[in-house]
Structure 1
Amino acid sequence: MASSRSPVCYADAARWYCLIFLVLLVVLGSFTDENSLIKKMNPTAGQACDEIYVVGEGETLHTISDKCGDAFIVEENPHIHDPDDVFPGLVIKITPSRNSRS
């Protein structure tokens, strides 16, 4: 004997289940620690660096700032006259902020 439900009813039910599933994913995703997500995407982000840092190939002050947690590299290194003129081998002083140490 054939079922009395039409395929449209099954499609509506499936649509509702998908909607509920997506809402649950969004709600559960909002409980994820943002810092752990950033560390998963970039494991070196916010790591404490040595006080003396040697710029590597392809690095910029922005990438070093993100990596070492020092937002004031230019202010703390008076020998850097042009922030765009950073080259491999340049020695800079790093002073991480208190937030990145913890």
Structure 2
Amino acid sequence: MASKPMADAASWYCATILLALILFASIRENNSMPDNDPVRGAKHFVISRPCDEIYVVGEGETLHTISDKCSDPFIVERNPHIHDPDDVFPGLVIKITPSRP
């Protein structure tokens, strides 16, 4: 009967090793993607062209940081769909009109 607990331990060990290998492979694959790969999503697009007329808010951004980055101090006035300037979330689409060229 001692072989049953040993077999259970061996299968848990194998499952843990397999899971670790899968996670390692996926992390390595994500890190090997080139920086100009469009598959990374809209966040990469926003970083490469931050002040297009149509701007998609990214993770961790506020209207203040976007205003500073894009030189548009009148974001709230030009976007009537923003009712609360503190309620800005990733994916929100806003219009940007830079005040300087």
1:87 equivalenced with 2:92 (yes/no): no
Check the 8 A contact 1:54/1:91 in 2, yes or no: yes
Query: 1:64, 1:75 → 2: CA distance?
Result: 14
TM-score between both structures, scaled by the size of structure 2: 0.50
Which residue of the partner structure matches residue 65 of structure 2?
Answer: 63
Query: 1:53, 1:65 → 2: CA distance?
Result: 11
Query: 1:48, 1:54 → 2: CA distance?
Result: 9
Cα 1:48/1:91, change in 2 over 3 Å: closer
Query: Moved runs in structure 1, 4+ residues, more than 6 A?
Result: none
2:75 corresponds, among 69, 73, 76, to 73
Question: Per the alignment, in what secondary structure is the counterpart of residue 59 of structure 1?
Answer: coil
Task: Map 1:1-102; keep pairs closer than 5 Å.
Answer: 49-98=51-100, 101=101
Question: What is the Cα deviation at residue 48 of structure 1?
Answer: 6.6
Number of residue equivalences: 53
- List alignment gaps of at least 5 residues for structure 2: 1-48
Check the 8 A contact 1:55/1:90 in 2, yes or no: yes
Higher helix share: 2
Identity of matched residues, %: 89
Q: 1:62-83 CA deviation, whole Å, 9 max, x = no partner?
A: 0000000000000000000000
Q: 1:23-81 CA deviation, whole Å, 9 max, x = no partner?
A: xxxxxxxxxxxxxxxxxxxxxxxx97100000000000000000000000000000000
TM-score between both structures, scaled by the size of structure 1: 0.50
Check the 8 A contact 1:77/1:93 in 2, yes or no: yes
Which residue identity does 1:68 align to in structure 2?
A: C
- RMSD over aligned Cα atoms: 1.5
